[in-house]
Structure 1
Amino acid sequence: MTLADEVFERAARVIPGGNTRSTLFVTPHPPYAAVGDGATVVDTAGHRTIDCNNNYTALIHGHADPEILAVTAEAAVKGTAFGLPTTYEVDLAELLVARTGLQQWRFCNSGTEAVMMLIRGARAHTGRDLVVRFEGSYHGTYDGVVPVDAPGVPRSVAEASIVLPQNDVSALEGAMSRYGDRVAVVLLDLMPNRAGLTPVSTEFASAAARLATDFGALLAIDEVISFRLGVGGLHQTYGVVPDLVSLGKIIGGGYPVGAVGGRAEVLAAFSPLGDGPVSWGGTFSANPITMAAGLSAMSRYGEADVAALNARGDDLRMLLVDAGIRVNGRGSLLRLMVDDPTSTWWQLYEAGVLAGTNGLLALSTVMTDEDVDLVARRVVATLGRHTS
């Protein structure tokens, strides 16, 4: 029995399936991380990998970033959580306003919670119930955005969503013509990971914005994953102006985070200053440690940094494509299109590359040219023999 097997046996006795996050599971069971340092992860058995998972895109500066560790230590000695707001959340909100042009922001603890808050706010603002969303897009684990036939989801919750094919303008036009006066929000991921990181067309994004406006609904863009691709998010490259945006992952600097930004008129639904009907708390929302870490991470991921990391991702993608490997994505996000994700994950892991369990690769700023070249060689050596 290996050390990983021993850890798994312990874990399975006290945690269903041996770990808390479904997305991390690979049969027979995943290894357990011990140490992360920059662009590498070492597991409990001592196996070292180049981390192209980066906690599913969240660690934009890799592991144990010295500046983030310093600012969070400084914040922690002043108090790890308060029953009062802090200036840290003001600082991070101001940064996000400057980057995105969206007028106001509100923080929570995960991307899932951000989508929950976004939908609640949209419904409160419009006085409507229906959510239009699209096949293959993952918006977290909230009942209202998982597949309508998912176990444990009440039929009444499923009936509050209209799920349409991605990139099908005609289907969207038909649904809005029929239900548009009941739609609170059109929720769109411009490059959904679960759908293979295939970007939506400019035509489709523009149609979603137009139809939402025409029928008095809100347009919401889920940028929890894709925000890293542009200084103000992927949506800016499409030329659409959303009413609401959900964020998470990189804006927390490695700590739990979610955020909703948008027009002040819409975010007023959460304001206790006026007639805002939505009360939304959260004991650790806008936690000072997370806010300090996020401010540090985002302050060092400006326009030039975004462009450089995207270029490195495009270079890696080209190396893989030239080797005959099918790969989707854009910039620093890549998706290996493989027939057997579990087998591929293990082969890459044994070769020293930590990917997502679905073939996702997400680069970090601490990766060097040598790291990227080594990743390319290891992926090609692993997958090239399976490519015709």
Structure 2
Amino acid sequence: MSSTKIVLNGSSNGRNLSRSMELFGRGQRVITGGNARLPVFQRPHPIYMAKGTGVHLVDVDGNRYIDFLNNFTTLIHGHGYPPLLDRLRGQLDLGVSFGGPTELEVEFAELLCDRVPYFDQIRFMNSGTEAVMYTIKAARALTGRQRIAKLEGGFHGSYDPVEVSLDSAPANWGSLSAPSGIPYSTGISESVLAETVILPFNELRASREILEANKDRLAAVVIDLLPQRAGLIPIDPCYLAFLREFTARHGIVLISDEVMSFRLSYRGGITCFGFEADLCAFAKILGGGLPIGAVGGPSRFMLPFDSTNGKPLVPQAGTFSANPMSMAAGIGAMQCLSEQHFQRLDDLGEYARSSLTEMFRQQRLPYSVTGMGSMFRIHLRSEAPKDYREAYAAPEQQERMGMFIWALQERGVIVSPSCQLCLSTPMSADHIDEMVASVRESAQMLEAV
């Protein structure tokens, strides 16, 4: 019996997914791999969605789910949030894109600079990948250096330099004191590998030695304050303080990738950790569900993008950059996120983590949970991981996780492929309790296999 059959036969609901199966078959004929996004693929087939309202999703077969994925942390207001819909309907009547700037991009940039005190200026683009890419280009322009350093296992989008050692494995990741630079995809050039320095997450002594050896050639250090691939474990304050001091002393640009962690507080993740990066890349919740990316920082670090005196050091364009639909949705999303909203999400997140931890203890299940704020991740291990290497899932563990996620879906809960969950403002403690019950049933099913 296959693992998929085990999950489906052990489910509590026996959900019909025939329409999703049919669409996947059709998709395989015209879309390479059957669907257009790698993270949403799963075996035996993805679940195709039809509608979202509030905290719920409905798939093409009519099955209903609580959405704890929220398009990979993007939809902080859930689905069909009325203030956003009103803004988008109004902008539709005015136009969806133009070959010129609009007042909306000025308004949105003003909002963000007012919100995050250390931002002097903003540049808008279309995705988190673009935002990270342009921060690195700016760092190279400012320093005249080429190398960058990143954390082992850190995910920063689909840009060759930051894909290095995104998913290195025990067979190739090298020692903790000198992690190897491993290509994520076929075709990454040797020069890219040579220009990307890998730092062991939260390992201060080893990171100091690696940085000292490369300090004169480094343009930037790219960090994530709550790296998902490294287990959704917060960066250690002492480690962060060391990186801030070291980069400032040696003229290296410190880049904070807040594509995901910007949802940690009203003023972003940097506020939670009490530091200021040189450049910040952010996206996801910023666009209210529409495509967006942005770079923000002090004016001296944003200077490479300035075109007022001729060709900029870093030309940044994009047909849909700062398009009025994304600007309208982003303004609406941010205006509807008060400090009280974030406090409530933090409280719900803590309730979710503590409820899961207590349930695992009571049921004697070898599982653990990590996270911060409105995000958390379930691990199929009794001890919560401390870094990327401990959070790494071998193929057999990935298979078990796949079974676990299918079981959750059968019980009406949608999570990420790594079992990361995030909250949205329409959620309540009742939704958390329902999720915890589904996790308990799914874990018991998995342990019985």
Q: TM-score range by the shorter chain?
A: over 0.9
Structure 1 residue 149 corresponds to structure 2 residue 165: no
Q: d(CA) in 1 for partners of 2:347 and 2:121?
A: 31
TM-superposed CA distance for 1:384, in Å, is: 4.7
Match for 1:280 among 307, 316, 328? 316
Structure 1 residue 122 corresponds to structure 2 residue 164: no
Match for 1:222 among 252, 257, 265? 257
Who is 1:105 aligned against? 122
Distance change >3 Å, CA 387–CA 104, structure 1 → 2: farther
Q: d(CA) in 2 for partners of 1:142 and 1:69?
A: 32
Who is 1:238 aligned against? 273
TM-superposed CA distance for 1:304, in Å, is: 1.0
- Percent identity, aligned pairs only, is 39
TM-score under structure 2 normalisation? 0.84
Over residues 255-285 of structure 1, what are the superposed CA-to-partner deviations in whole Å (9 max), with x where a residue is unaligned?
A: 0011110110111100101363111110000
Who is 1:136 aligned against? 153
Who is 1:335 aligned against? 377
Alignment of 1:363-382 (within 5 A): 363-382=423-442
3-state SS of 2:33 partner: helix
Q: d(CA) in 2 for partners of 1:54 and 1:218?
A: 32
Q: Check the 8 A contact 1:309/1:364 in 2, yes or no.
A: yes
Q: d(CA) in 2 for partners of 1:3 and 1:185?
A: 48
Who is 1:206 aligned against? 241
Match for 2:340 among 279, 296, 304? 304
Structure 1 residue 269 corresponds to structure 2 residue 304: yes
List structure 1 runs of 4+ shifted beyond 4 angstroms: 384-388
Q: d(CA) in 2 for partners of 1:27 and 1:254?
A: 26
The letter of the residue matching 2:196 is: S
The letter of the residue matching 1:269 is: P
TM-superposed CA distance for 1:386, in Å, is: 5.2
Who is 2:408 aligned against? 348
Over residues 52-73 of structure 1, what are the superposed CA-to-partner deviations in whole Å (9 max), with x where a residue is unaligned?
A: 0000000000011111111011
Q: d(CA) in 2 for partners of 1:387 and 1:187?
A: 39
Who is 1:294 aligned against? 330
TM-superposed CA distance for 1:176, in Å, is: 2.0
Who is 2:84 aligned against? 68
TM-superposed CA distance for 1:368, in Å, is: 2.3
Who is 1:251 aligned against? 286
**Cα RMSD, aligned residues only:** 1.4
Who is 2:108 aligned against? 92
Q: d(CA) in 1 for partners of 2:248 and 2:139?
A: 13
Q: d(CA) in 2 for partners of 1:379 and 1:87?
A: 46
3-state SS of 1:11 partner: helix
Structure 1 residue 159 corresponds to structure 2 residue 194: yes
The letter of the residue matching 1:93 is: A
TM-superposed CA distance for 1:254, in Å, is: 0.3
The letter of the residue matching 1:284 is: F
TM-superposed CA distance for 1:362, in Å, is: 0.7
Q: d(CA) in 1 for partners of 2:230 and 2:28?
A: 31
Q: Check the 8 A contact 1:323/1:384 in 2, yes or no.
A: no
Q: Check the 8 A contact 1:176/1:215 in 2, yes or no.
A: no
The letter of the residue matching 2:304 is: A
Consecutive unaligned residues in structure 2, runs of 5 or more: 1-16, 165-181, 361-366, 381-396
Q: d(CA) in 2 for partners of 1:146 and 1:350?
A: 33
Match for 2:223 among 178, 184, 188? 188
3-state SS of 1:365 partner: coil
Structure 1 residue 4 corresponds to structure 2 residue 39: no
Consecutive unaligned residues in structure 1, runs of 5 or more: none
TM-score under structure 1 normalisation? 0.97
Q: Check the 8 A contact 1:191/1:198 in 2, yes or no.
A: yes
Q: d(CA) in 2 for partners of 1:268 and 1:379?
A: 49
Over residues 211-253 of structure 1, what are the superposed CA-to-partner deviations in whole Å (9 max), with x where a residue is unaligned?
A: 1011110111111111111111112122211000110100000
TM-superposed CA distance for 1:385, in Å, is: 5.7
Moved more, 160-169 or 149-158: 149-158
Match for 1:358 among 400, 412, 418? 418
Q: Check the 8 A contact 1:132/1:186 in 2, yes or no.
A: yes
Q: Check the 8 A contact 2:264/2:272 in 1, yes or no.
A: no
